[in-house]
Amino acid sequence: MLRTTAILTTLALVAGAANAETLRWARAGDSLTLDPHAQNEGPTHTLAHQIYEPLIIRDHSGAFQAALATDWAPKADDPTVWVFNLREGVTFHDGSAFTAEDVVFSFERAKSETSAMKELLTSITEVRAVDDLTVEFVTDGPNPILPNNFTNLFIMDKTWTEANGVTKVQDIANGETTFAATNANGTGAYTLTSREPDVKTVLDANPDYWGIGEFPLAVTKIEYTPIQNAATRVAALLSGEVDFIQDVPVQDLGRVNDTDGLVVKTAPQNRTIFFGMDTGSEDLRSTEGNPFAEVKVREAMNMAINRDAIQRVVMRGQSQPTGVIMPPFVNGWTEALDATPEGDIEAAKALMAEAGYGDGFSVQLDCPNDRYVNDEAICQAAVGMLGQIGITVNLNAQSKALHFPLIQNETTDFYMLGWGVPTYDSEYIFNFLVHTKGDDRGSWNPTGFSNPEVDEMIKSLAAETDLDARNESIAKIWEVVNGETLYLPLHHQVLNWGMAETVGTEVSPEDDPKFKFFEMN
């Protein structure tokens, strides 16, 4: 974390800050790596989107837009093959030409064992280059939503990757570092000038970008500074030290919006915050036995969490309480699933007693303190709420860089996680969070939940072309997930971007500003 004195310089320095084309950007946490396939995490993807590009992007409204591919469609005579036509004349930042060979290489890399993106590509059996500007994706059955899975799948330069010994995806969960973690060579609108993880990253406009004339490209330099401390981050915006922050603390929304020259823009985010539990281990790490193995304990916890109080007191109205780990943007969402469970402490205590835990138990809750809006404060509130039904919760709050490996390595009993859905479809949630861990799925499912019948239904979604039948399967899977109380949903997150009035942008539901769309007034 940067010290306040490193952020708040003298007024003279602020007055002489960068010109109108420089965007000084801050948020609570940094990108975890520059390896574009090593971590499936929002801030990591956001930085990558400035440097690298996928075949398809979503614009700030959430709609598809052509990127490195100009068009795509299933093959007329074979619905198991999608054909992507690539953009001509694109070069990587080092000047090398972008071709279909780079796409084939990147997708094969993203399907590999240490990739965090492989769940998105499980239906693909082959990626082949027809010629320099045509790629075919062969799937194990007709996959009507395959393009939805490609919007964060970045294309690397095969030659550069091989030359620098990084054909293997960085194993970030086990602490590996590689050349690709701190260096980059993409096709994006901005090139990497300097990178100091957790301190500062500088990007400059790519003078050879294919999109010149197609996008505003008003921002010519980006200075990205992670500022974990909320008060320091707001002070930097108020003083003019930074121009744009993605995460205005809820307690400071009025203060920022009422300041001359600043504005706050708010929108629902395509992300849900929830708690997960290890339901499968015989003994937990922080207590003897495993109370989470009892569904009545999980139901009691779900009843004890007062989501309305969290919304009112912790989030100051900036959240949408929910009963499902799926935001309303997603195919499969219904009002019935979204309804929050009734809070009833006495009924929750009765369930605890029926499960054999009338005297309660102790457990550790692992929580990030620099990833989600008020993440640590939410966890602190839950500690008190669960205490009312006899569960003594010891809070372990730490940086996301330390928190996420606990989930990926299955070394946590009880944890907070937030999940965005860039595909806008339930299959994405099921592949990562519900499917049995293994078989290139379930990489973010340390709960121990495993249901072979559900696994088969999840796999079938990728090849079901009857959308009504597919949606029926999705509803059945959600019925199982909620019936098991597999997770404890909290709320859908709300975005609050704070910026100087000179910065022109709308809020992206993915919380992934793409600076090539920004205007600088």
User: What are the DSSP calls for 417-435, one per residue?
Assistant: EEEE-TT-BHHHHIIIIIS
Domain map of the chain by residue range? 4-243+502-520, 269-494
Q: What is the pLDDT of residue 18?
A: 39
Q: Give the number of other Cβ atoms within 10 Å of residue 472's Cβ.
A: 12
Helix (H, G, I), strand (E, B) or coil at 191: strand
Query: What is the spatial distance between Cα 183 and Cα 192, in angstroms, rounded to a whole number?
Result: 8
State the pTM of this model: 0.92
Helix (H, G, I), strand (E, B) or coil at 306: coil
Tally the residues of the chain: 521
Q: What is the pLDDT of residue 259?
A: 97
Q: Of 371, 415, 382, 386, which Cα lies nearest the Cα of 314?
A: 382
Q: Of 194, 188, 219, 224, which Cα lies nearest the Cα of 206?
A: 188
The secondary structure of residue 343, as a DSSP letter, is: P
Tokens of 308: 């309305």
Residue 222 in contact with residue 202, Cβ under 8 Å? yes
Q: What is the pLDDT of residue 383?
A: 98
Residue 269 phi, psi (nearest 5): -100, 150
Q: What is the pLDDT of residue 439?
A: 76
Residue 86 in contact with residue 135, Cβ under 8 Å? yes
What are the DSSP E strand ranges found in 180-245? Answer: 190-196, 200-205, 221-226, 244-245
**pLDDT tens readout for residues 145-164:** 999 999 999 999 999 999 99
Beta strands at 361-368 and 519-520: parallel, antiparallel or unpaired? unpaired
- Which value, in Å, is the radius of gyration of the alpha carbons in the chain? 23
Residue 224 in contact with residue 18, Cβ under 8 Å? no
Residue 377 phi, psi (nearest 5): -65, -35
Tokens of 519: 């205007």
Q: Which stretches of the chain score pLDDT less than 50?
A: 1-20
Residue type, 163: A
Query: What is the spatial distance between Cα 318 and Cα 301, in angstroms, rounded to a whole number?
Result: 23
Residue 481 in contact with residue 95, Cβ under 8 Å? no
4-243+502-520: CATH number: 3.40.190.10
Q: What is the pLDDT of residue 19?
A: 47
Q: Which CATH superfamily is domain 269-494 in?
A: Dipeptide-binding Protein; Domain 3 (3.10.105.10)
Residue 271 in contact with residue 419, Cβ under 8 Å? yes
Residue 458 phi, psi (nearest 5): -60, -45
Tokens of 48: 């990558």
Sign of CA dihedral 258, 260, 262, 266: positive
Query: What is the spatial distance between Cα 248 and Cα 447, in angstroms, rounded to a whole number?
Result: 32
Helix (H, G, I), strand (E, B) or coil at 10: coil
Q: What is the pLDDT of residue 87?
A: 98
